[in-house]
Amino acid sequence: MTLDLALQAAVSGLLMGGIYALVALALALVFGVMRVLNFAHGDLLLVAMYGTVVLNQALGLHPYASTLLLVPLMGVLGWGLFAALIRPLLGSSALMQAQLTIGVSFMIQSAALMIFGADLMNVRTSFESSTLPLGRGIVVGVPLLVAFAVSVLACAAVAWFLARTETGVRIRATAQDPVMARLCGVAVPRLQKMVFAASIALLALAAGSLMTFFHVTPTTGVQFSILSLLIVVLGGLGDLKGAFVGGLMIGLAESLAGAAFDSALAPAVIYILFALTLLFRPRGLFGRGSIA
Amino acid sequence: MTRSAPRSNSRALLTAALLLTAALLLAARAAGAADPATISIPVVTPMSGATSVIGQDSVKALEIAMRHIAEDGGVLGRKLELKMVDTQGKPDVMRRELERLARLENAPLVLGCEVSAATAAGAQFAEQFKVPFLNSAAVAADILQRGYGWYFSDQITGDDEARAVTSFVEYLASQNAGKPLKLGFLFEDSPRGAGTIEASRKLLKDKGIAPVVEVSYNRAERNLLPQVKKVEQAGADVVVWAGYTEDVVAGLKAMQQISFTPYVVGIGGGPGDPRIPTLVDPAFIEKLRLSTIDYFNPDLPRARRFVEAYQKQFGTLPSSYASLCYRGAYTVYAALKAALATKGGSLDRESLRGALRALKIPGEATITPFASIEFDAQGRNVGARSLVAQWQDGGTRKVTVWPKDVAARAPLPAQR
């Protein structure tokens, strides 16, 4: 692998990692506040991705324009899902959570297959082939760069919200100790519903970003479920900063491994990295994750 | 109300439920009772899972095949019913379903429109339980090297694809104005992609053509820019690319980003997917002179009836995946007719195996570029051969360009 190739892989990987970070952050938020690992997280992203395609085909909306419609719609979906499926799961065993959310995952995949078929779908945009040269022959796809910027801004907005607003403080208090938060007057059930709805709404933003350069099939969601679960555990369960950094790390590792190894070893690298990190940092990258 | 009333209510409810269940079961049995004049053949195909696009297209094609077979008189007047069975592209599901079909439903023969991994499991089972298994999809050549007596494949193999790659690349080399060809291999690292590339590498080596670069990637890779860049840096001006639609679309976009326009010779479902011009800029597709090694193209005159019917019913040209199951249905049809036409004709498994062994369908009677469909002792179709189709007319239409005897047009030149 030449230096130029390594730099190209590193830049592409880091940008991709920013989007992974946003997807994983949404999952980490849910786990942090309500201790639920949602195995259907990637499939809910899938719903938003198909929504982007539908809005593009029906109304000619650009993926970013469709997020204006999809964010509130996904929020409503999240609200309904919480009331119907997630609230009964609160406090239950990890096995119960896994079973139910994996079931939801299968339902979404099957519904996607029935409604949209197995064909690959994407959205064509005016800037899909635009690139930005960075010197030394390194190019960055503009859609990927914009998606990275949007994702990082979204993560920063979430961080700001949690740190600087009263609701954010309440959310952090609930994540830290839900019993004490309740005793201090925080309406924990309502807050949990709001956080779940908001995390699903965030997926609409990630979907809009992804659809500017990626595609969707009924099985795309599973890939992102596995990836985001991996990142959340790597970063430390419930640790948002860990999820962000973990996303960037995984994006980088995935890209560098793909460029360095011409073999089936390449995809194994991120799992090896994951295993090694947990071996030496069982509570995640920053040692702040909970032991689930 | 007396104490016994609630108990009698429960008993009444239970009795009613049992009666209703019995009635439903009887009705279902009556509805499903087989018509003795209908010959039912199961078709195993992935209708869900990662490879469900094969099953999706197969289901459509089989609907047309059944109609055409009925129009052609059926199996000596009897209706042929092809029943879809979802095997999800998974070997374990394939085994389970074949066991059910063979043991419980006494299937006389099974038609497979499945990926190589699942087909290999199916072939093993078919051999164990002596059920004729006709594969129309999987190209893995190693299944045919296992000495199975109950497995037949009317499909091309990776070796046939490699031969087509070699002859086409040799042709491109001859068109390169005397300059040596710089060949690159780019492929997804499953046995399908890696196997075909390995076979191609061996044959090309015998012709004195060695690649300047070989790059593999995982099919699930979301960003192929580094891999494509590696091929570009090596200076490849012809790239042989084995991939599926998802990774080919990602790779084509990466090529467009770095303005890398080699002559691309594709293998597998990706480069020839009829949906490619809607997924990637068609003008760029033509710049690449994107070609695909395939076993079907809608412009084949032999395929006109199938293509017109498919287009009329589904509003789109049939993919190669659709064609393979249609072809398989007609091979089954021919075998069934041959088995019944013999003296004391029977549709038991041994008779059908014998019918398949003796089958000789001329190429003109198929929708493929094959010389014929006839099986050797290993079950390989000795008449199978690939064609090369190329995206032309602004990258919007796939035109058969190789071999010359089936080509509708000449390939785009190697030199711009």
- Domains of chain B, residue spans: 38-156+301-373, 159-294+387-402
Is the predicted pLDDT of residue A193 greater than 70, yes or no?
A: yes
Which range is least confidently modeled, A34-38, A113-117, A261-265, B116-120? A261-265
Q: Sorting pLDDT into bands at 50, 70 and 90, what band is B27? A: low
CB < 8 Å to B220, chain A:
223, 267
Distance of alpha carbon B293 from alpha carbon B311, whole angstroms: 23
Q: Sorting pLDDT into bands at 50, 70 and 90, what band is B111? A: very high
Query: Which three-class secondary structure state does DSSP give residue B75?
Result: strand
Is the predicted pLDDT of residue A256 greater than 70, yes or no?
A: yes
Is the predicted pLDDT of residue B108 greater than 60, yes or no?
A: yes
CB < 8 Å to B214, chain A:
262
Residue B375's closest CA among B70, B128, B150? B150
Higher pLDDT, A75 or B50: A75
CB < 8 Å to B56, chain A:
117-119
Question: What is the average pLDDT across A144-170?
Answer: 95
User: What does the pLDDT read at residue B81?
Assistant: 95
Question: What is the average pLDDT across B344-353?
Answer: 89
Distance of alpha carbon B87 from alpha carbon B137, whole angstroms: 14
Total-model pTM: 0.87
User: What does the pLDDT read at residue B83?
Assistant: 95
User: What does the pLDDT read at residue B73?
Assistant: 94
Asked if B173 and B181 touch (Cβ cutoff 8 Å), the reply is yes
Q: Does A12 touch chain B (CB under 8 A)?
A: yes
Kindly state the DSSP code that residue B414 receives in the 8-state scheme: S
Do A113 and B214 make contact, defined as CB atoms within 8 angstroms? no
Kindly state the DSSP code that residue B102 receives in the 8-state scheme: I
Distance of alpha carbon B241 from alpha carbon B255, whole angstroms: 13
Scanning B191-250 for CB atoms below 8 A from A yields: 214-218, 220-227, 229-230, 233, 245-246, 249-250
CATH 1.10.3470 holds for A3-280: yes
Instruction: Provide the β-strand partners of residue B42.
Output: B83
User: What does the pLDDT read at residue B24?
Assistant: 65
Question: What is the average pLDDT across B225-240?
Answer: 92
CATH for the stretch B38-156+301-373:
3.40.50.2300
Q: In this structure, what token pair is assigned to residue B249? A: 């679309």
User: What does the pLDDT read at residue B194?
Assistant: 87
Residue B322's closest CA among B82, B80, B50, B136? B136
Do B52 and A118 make contact, defined as CB atoms within 8 angstroms? yes
pLDDT digits (tens, 9 = 90+) for B191-214: 788 888 999 999 999 999 999 999
Instruction: Provide the β-strand partners of residue B41.
Output: B82
Residue to test with chain B: of A20, A262, A271, most B Cβ within 10 A: A262
Share of chain B above pLDDT 70, in %: 94
Q: What residue spans of chain A are helical by DSSP H? A: 3-34, 41-59, 63-81, 94-116, 142-164, 166-176, 178-183, 188-210, 220-235, 240-260, 265-280
CB < 8 Å to B284, chain A:
129
The ipTM (two decimal places) reads 0.83
Backbone angles phi, psi at A155, to 5 degrees: -60, -40
Asked if B109 and B339 touch (Cβ cutoff 8 Å), the reply is no
Q: Does B315 touch chain A (CB under 8 A)?
A: no
Which uninterrupted H or E stretch holds B232?
A: helix B225-233
Q: Residue type for B241, please?
A: W
Q: Sorting pLDDT into bands at 50, 70 and 90, what band is B34? A: low
Distance from CA of A247 to the nearest CA of B (A): 14
Higher pLDDT, B1 or B255: B255
Is the bond preceding residue A178 a cis peptide, omega within 30 degrees? no
Q: Sorting pLDDT into bands at 50, 70 and 90, what band is A82? A: very high
Using alpha carbons only, what angle is made at residue B261 by residues B255 and B262, rounded to the nearest 5 degrees? 110
Which uninterrupted H or E stretch holds B239?
A: strand B238-242
Distance of alpha carbon B222 from alpha carbon A270, whole angstroms: 14
Q: In this structure, what token pair is assigned to residue B72? A: 């052609």
Distance of alpha carbon B121 from alpha carbon B151, whole angstroms: 11
Q: Does B303 touch chain A (CB under 8 A)?
A: no
Which range is least confidently modeled, A179-188, A211-220, B17-26, B299-308? B17-26
Q: Does B317 touch chain A (CB under 8 A)?
A: no
Question: What is the average pLDDT across B108-112?
Answer: 96
Question: What is the average pLDDT across B255-272?
Answer: 92
Residue A229's closest CA among A45, A52, A59? A45
Is the predicted pLDDT of residue A74 greater than 80, yes or no?
A: yes
pLDDT digits (tens, 9 = 90+) for A84-95: 999 988 888 889
Residue to test with chain B: of A12, A14, A19, A142, most B Cβ within 10 A: A12
How many CB atoms within 10 Å of residue B351? 21
Do A120 and B249 make contact, defined as CB atoms within 8 angstroms? yes
Is the predicted pLDDT of residue B288 greater than 80, yes or no?
A: yes
User: What does the pLDDT read at residue B2?
Assistant: 45
Q: Where are the beta strands (DSSP E) in A208-258?
A: 215-216
Distance of alpha carbon B260 from alpha carbon B262, whole angstroms: 6
- Please state the length of chain A: 292
Q: Residue type for A261, please?
A: F
User: What does the pLDDT read at residue B8?
Assistant: 66
Distance of alpha carbon B139 from alpha carbon B141, whole angstroms: 6
Scanning A259-288 for CB atoms below 8 A from B yields: 259, 262-264, 266-267
Give Cα separations from B232 to B184, B215, B229 (angstroms).
9, 11, 5
User: What does the pLDDT read at residue B142?
Assistant: 87
Count H helices and E strands in chain B, helices first: 13, 14
What DSSP assignment string belongs to B3-67? THHHHHHHHHHHHHHHHHHHHHHHHHHHHHPPPTTEEEEEEEE-SSSTTHHHHHHHHHHHHHHHH
**Mean of per-residue pLDDT scores for chain B:** 90
Q: Does B154 touch chain A (CB under 8 A)?
A: no
> What are the residue ranges spanned by the domains of chain A?
3-280
Which of B215, B222, B284 faces A214 most closely, judged by CB atoms? B222
Is the predicted pLDDT of residue B279 greater than 80, yes or no?
A: yes
Kindly state the DSSP code that residue B145 receives in the 8-state scheme: G
User: What does the pLDDT read at residue B1?
Assistant: 43
The phi-psi region of residue B404 (left if phi > 0; otherwise alpha if psi is between -120 and 50; otherwise beta) is alpha
Pick the residue from chain B with its C-alpha nearest to A122: B279
Q: What is the dihedral of CA A255, A261, A264, A269, to 10 degrees?
A: -50
Asked if B372 and B385 touch (Cβ cutoff 8 Å), the reply is no
Which of B56, B253, B258 faces A139 most closely, judged by CB atoms? B258
Asked if B10 and B17 touch (Cβ cutoff 8 Å), the reply is no
| Superfamily the domain B159-294+387-402 falls into | Response regulator (3.40.50.2300)
Higher pLDDT, B58 or B218: B58
Asked if A54 and A284 touch (Cβ cutoff 8 Å), the reply is no
User: What does the pLDDT read at residue B29?
Assistant: 54
The phi-psi region of residue A49 (left if phi > 0; otherwise alpha if psi is between -120 and 50; otherwise beta) is alpha
Backbone angles phi, psi at B319, to 5 degrees: -80, 170
Which of A120, A259, A263 faces B227 most closely, judged by CB atoms? A259
Asked if A217 and B246 touch (Cβ cutoff 8 Å), the reply is yes
